[in-house]
């Protein structure tokens, strides 16, 4: 695994282009968000998704994967029409530490087993991701980086991440010490928006 250091507010553009090229070619990557570190690959990378499931020791349905999207307008490519209420709520909270569970369209479902009909969507407030995502061929699909045993432990220190995942991922984007609190999750698949998990993002 190659570890690449990034300034959290002013990431090196040349390094980002190298990272994007490698992700586009099928590599899997550990990266910072505005909450905890995550493990991901291109949404269209079927083999990468399978690798992530092996690394996390989870079945695909249990991995709670989310799309990391560039902006709200790009989300419409991967979900049926979003209601006005959901759109206003997303616009209010994003970018930020929130995961919105939305219905997925047929394009998304063909990359997942069991025809997954819903997907989590994130737009983290993170400068590294903000500048990386436009360079990718598709959104990242990711899951939180936590221990594979029964202890719910999140990795916040890139030094520890490098030791634990040295032979399990291709790239580590080091953006410094991460947070240890997950995103707030809002389910938008029903008639009303419901709070599934209260995390870092406050909900009024």
Residue 110 has pLDDT above 90, yes or no: no
Q: Judge whether 172 and 179 are in contact, CB under 8 Å.
A: no
- Closest by CA to 173, choosing from 15, 58, 53, 46, is 15
**Whether the predicted pLDDT of 84 surpasses 80:** yes
Q: Which of the given ranges, 25-34, 80-89, 147-156, has the highest pLDDT on average?
A: 25-34
* 6-10, 84-88, 110-114, 151-155: the lowest-pLDDT one: 151-155
Beta strands in 36-146, from DSSP E residues, in sequence order: 38-42, 66-68, 98-103, 118-122, 140-144
Q: What integer pLDDT is reported at residue 149 of this predicted model?
A: 56
User: Hunting for tokens 């990431």 — which residue is that?
Assistant: 11
Task: Set out the domains of the chain in order of their start, with CATH numbers.
Answer: 2-197 (3.90.870.10)
pLDDT tens readout for residues 174-190: 999 998 889 999 999 98
Pairing of strands 2-5, 171-174: parallel
Average of pLDDT values for 7-33?
A: 97
| pLDDT above 50: residue 1 | yes
Helix/strand number for the chain, H first, E second: 7, 10
**Is pLDDT above 90 for 128?**
yes
Count the Cβ atoms, other than its own, within 10 Å of residue 177: 12
- Give DSSP secondary structure letters for 26-52: T--EEE--SSS-EEEEETT-HHHHHHH
Three-state DSSP class for residue 108: helix
Dist CA 5 CA 135 (whole Å):
18
């Amino acid at each position: 695994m190659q570890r690449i250091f990034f300034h959290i507010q002013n990431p090196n553009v040349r390094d980002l282009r190298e990272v994007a090229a490698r992700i586009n070619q099928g590599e899997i990557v550990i990266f910072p968000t505005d909450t905890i570190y995550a493990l991901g690959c291109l949404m269209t990378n079927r083999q990468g998704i399978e690798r992530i499931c092996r690394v996390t020791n989870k079945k695909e349905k249990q991995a709670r994967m989310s799309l990391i999207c560039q902006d709200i307008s790009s989300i419409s490519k991967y979900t049926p029409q979003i209601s006005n209420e959901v759109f206003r709520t997303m616009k209010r909270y994003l970018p930020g530490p929130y995961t919105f569970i939305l219905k997925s369209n047929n394009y998304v479902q063909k990359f997942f087993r069991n025809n997954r009909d819903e997907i989590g969507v994130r737009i983290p407030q993170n400068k590294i991701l903000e500048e990386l995502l436009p360079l990718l061929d598709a959104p990242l699909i990711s899951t939180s980086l936590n221990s594979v045993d029964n202890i719910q432990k999140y990795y916040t220190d890139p030094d520890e991440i490098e030791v634990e995942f040295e032979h399990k991922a291709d790239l580590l984007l080091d953006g410094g010490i991460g947070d240890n609190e997950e995103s707030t999750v809002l389910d938008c698949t029903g008639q009303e928006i419901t709070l599934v998990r209260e995390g870092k993002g406050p909900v009024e």
